[in-house]
């Protein structure tokens, strides 16, 4: 079970398990030490109440929580195992992987696996990916393929049931090869890889530095580019030049072009990219301007209209997009498209 291990009065998991299994609650010295350590690192005194979290049913195995205060518990009772984990996914998931999965494997002696391989594409609509891999989607167990659409990403998941890890591999590799041949450079990554992580690796591997001038995304592209540890190697500066004044004064965008074409235009996006590049002396400059909505759209320039420009090695390029959805959706799709433009530019020079 998950949740109810916190310090508050409606957190009753531990006491309920103790009651049901007829055990006393005892203070676990290890759990108390972890708890005090957690607050020490945060530079705070442990609030009263929190000690409760170190009280566990007698005989329970305590699972250390490295990102929160609630320890996990494994209680073996009448040949059954009761497993209690904290509720927040960011606390639960690492604890499950580190302690619970190995415990269950040992306990059950089961080695049969369901192996998954996720192949992630960007830039193609779901219906198009579907047409390209239609035959694979019809496969029957033990090896199947599923398709999942996210905002601008489409993921293919190959699943293979097998006796163990090793015997699942050939079936997955055979299908993966086909998918790679058909989807080529629309594939940006695999499994846990993120688009921002892939772009970060490309920048580091190719020793490229980058600056971003982004208007409608308001810092989101910069934020995603710095989600990777060590991003100071490649990320020099983000600028969020929201007003026209700032675009003119600090980014050197032509006031005449702003009047003539408007802030949301190919011309302004290109100037933002080229100017931040030369201003910061970096390899790659990105310029983004658009209408995130829900207000601010017109007939000629509707909400969701976005221009993304890249300046790299003397070659400047701008693309027009029309996104749909809420303000947050438009911002997210814009950041997706911008990261993909960086990826393609470094990897394929397009």
Question: Which 113-132 positions form the footprint of its own copies (CB under 8 A)?
Answer: 125-131
* Cβ-based neighbours of 124, under 8 Å, separated by 6 or more: 132, 154, 183, 186
The nearest distance, CB 71 to its own copies, in angstroms, is 15
Site for its own copies (CB under 8 A): which residue of 7, 123, 197, 252? Answer: 7
Whichever of 239 and 270 has its CB closer to its own copies, that residue is 239
Residue 288, CA distances (Å) to 181, 221, 299 in order: 32, 9, 21
Phi, psi of 165, deg, nearest 5: -50, -45
Q: Select from 235, 227, 225, 215 the least CA-distant residue to 309.
A: 215
Q: Which of 304, 334, 336, 345 binds its own copies (CB under 8 A)?
A: 304
Q: Does 102 bind its own copies (CB under 8 A)?
A: no
| Of residues 74 and 217, the one with the C-beta less far from its own copies | 217
Question: Does 229 interact with its own copies (rule: CB under 8 A)?
Answer: yes
Per-residue mark of binding to its own copies, 242-281 (x: CB under 8 A): xx--x---x-----------------------------x-
CA distance 320 to 290: 9
End-to-end CA distance of the chain: 50
Residues 37-56 that bind its own copies (CB under 8 A): 38, 41-44, 47-50
Q: Is 294 exposed, middle or buried (0-12, 13-18, 19+ CB in 10 A)?
A: exposed
- Specify the residue for token string 């209408």: 291
Q: How far is the CB of 27 from its own copies (least distance, A)?
A: 17
Q: Which one, 65 or 74, has the nearer CB to its own copies?
A: 65
Q: Which of 263, 268, 260, 314 is closest to 287 using CA atoms? A: 268
The burial of 218, by beta-carbon neighbours within 10 Å (0-12 exposed, 13-18 middle, 19 or more buried), is given as middle
Binding of residue 307 to its own copies (CB under 8 A): no
218 near its own copies (CB under 8 A): yes
| C-alpha dihedral (272, 276, 277, 279), degrees to nearest 10 | 140
Cβ proximity to its own copies: between 125 and 313 the closer is 125
CB of 59 to its own copies, least distance (A): 26
Residue 24, C-beta contacts closer than 8 angstroms, at least 6 positions apart:
18, 57, 58
Q: Segment near its own copies (CB under 8 A), from 20-28, 101-109, 113-121, 142-150? A: 142-150
Which residues on adjacent β-strands are paired with residue 155? Answer: 120, 148
Stretch of residues binding its own copies (CB under 8 A), selected from 158-166, 174-182, 234-242, 252-260: 234-242
Mask 65-84, x = binds its own copies (CB under 8 A)? Answer: --x-----------------
How many residues touch its own copies under the rule CB under 8 A: the total is 76
CB of 166 to its own copies, least distance (A): 28
């Amino acid at each position: 079970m998950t949740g109810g291990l916190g310090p508050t009065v409606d957190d009753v998991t531990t006491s309920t398990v103790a009651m049901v299994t007829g055990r006393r609650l005892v203070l676990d010295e290890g759990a108390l030490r972890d708890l005090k350590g957690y607050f020490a690192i945060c530079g705070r005194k442990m609030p009263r109440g929190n000690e409760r979290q170190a009280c566990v049913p007698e005989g329970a195995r305590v699972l250390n929580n490295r990102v929160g205060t609630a320890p996990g518990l494994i209680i073996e009772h009448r040949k059954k195992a009761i497993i209690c984990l904290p509720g927040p996914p960011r606390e639960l998931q690492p604890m499950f992987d580190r302690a619970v999965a190995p415990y269950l494997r040992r306990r059950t002696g089961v080695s049969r696996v369901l192996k998954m391989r996720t192949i992630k594409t960007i830039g193609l609509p779901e219906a198009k990916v579907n047409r390209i891999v239609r035959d694979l989607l019809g496969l029957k167990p033990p090896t199947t393929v599923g398709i999942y659409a996210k905002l601008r990403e489409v993921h293919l998941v190959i699943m293979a049931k097998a006796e163990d890890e090793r015997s699942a591999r050939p079936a997955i590799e055979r299908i993966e090869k086909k998918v790679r041949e058909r989807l080529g450079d629309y594939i940006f990554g695999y499994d846990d890889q993120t688009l921002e992580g892939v772009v970060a690796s490309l920048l580091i591997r190719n020793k490229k530095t980058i600056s971003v001038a982004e208007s409608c995304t308001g810092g989101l592209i910069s934020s995603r580019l710095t989600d990777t540890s060590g991003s100071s190697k490649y990320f020099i500066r983000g600028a969020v030049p929201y007003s026209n004044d700032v675009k003119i004064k600090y980014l050197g965008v032509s006031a005449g072009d702003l009047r003539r074409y408007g802030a949301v235009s190919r011309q302004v996006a290109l100037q933002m990219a080229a100017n931040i590049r030369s201003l910061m002396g970096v390899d790659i400059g990105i310029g983004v301007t658009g209408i995130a909505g829900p207000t601010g759209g017109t007939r000629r320039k509707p909400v969701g209209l976005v221009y993304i420009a890249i300046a790299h090695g003397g070659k400047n390029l701008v693309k027009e997009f029309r996104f749909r959805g809420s303000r947050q959706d438009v911002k997210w799709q814009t950041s997706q498209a911008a990261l993909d433009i960086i990826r393609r530019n470094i990897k394929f020079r397009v």
